[in-house]
Amino acid sequence: MNQAGKLKFMSENTSSLQIVCPSCSAINRVPSEKLSDNPVCGKCRNPLVTGQPINATDQSISRILEKSSLPVVVDCWAPWCGPCLNFAPTFSEVAAEMSTEAIFLKLDTEANQQTAARFQIRSIPTLMLFYQGKLVAQMAGALPKHQFQEWLREEMSKLD
């Protein structure tokens, strides 16, 4: 096989993902099989997959939603909301367990009112699932861990 044939074969058999760095917002390409190998950002050298939810802002959320190859799960919450605070550890646990399957964002709706208005968040907590920049599922209310995982896996199974 000549060099051009090898390159074509390699590109067809290696899928890479776009990951937005949670530290500097640089877009990184990571081979899907290397996602669990603790990849680092090519620009700032910080970890790309931390296993922790990323705090999103009005300024950062669009880039993450539009440029991430992985599904993006958003927890819309507020610091004064009891159910939101009770759900936070569950969201963090699932983010750690599914860190190579999806990007997990926390959006403080009080501090980021533009984004809350953009997605018409009327009650909190609200969970949203995005894929390829599009909202594909939304649910209001806090869930126990098992139900949250079940909802998320069911919705993610419908993608592509």
Q: Are 73 and 93 in contact (CB under 8 A)?
A: no
Which residue in 21, 41, 76, 84 is the catalytic one? 84
Q: Are 123 and 116 in contact (CB under 8 A)?
A: no
Q: Which two tokens stand for residue 100?
A: 């190579």
Q: What is the residue-wise DSSP string for 102-125?
A: -EEEEEETTT-HHHHHHTT--SSS
Active site residue 81: yes
Which residue in 21, 41, 76, 81 is the catalytic one? 81
Active site residue 41: no
Q: Which two tokens stand for residue 131?
A: 């894929």
How many whole angstroms separate alpha carbon 134 and alpha carbon 21?
A: 20
Alpha helices by DSSP H, listed for the chain, are 3-13, 61-67, 82-97, 113-118, 145-157
Annotated catalytic residues are 81, 84
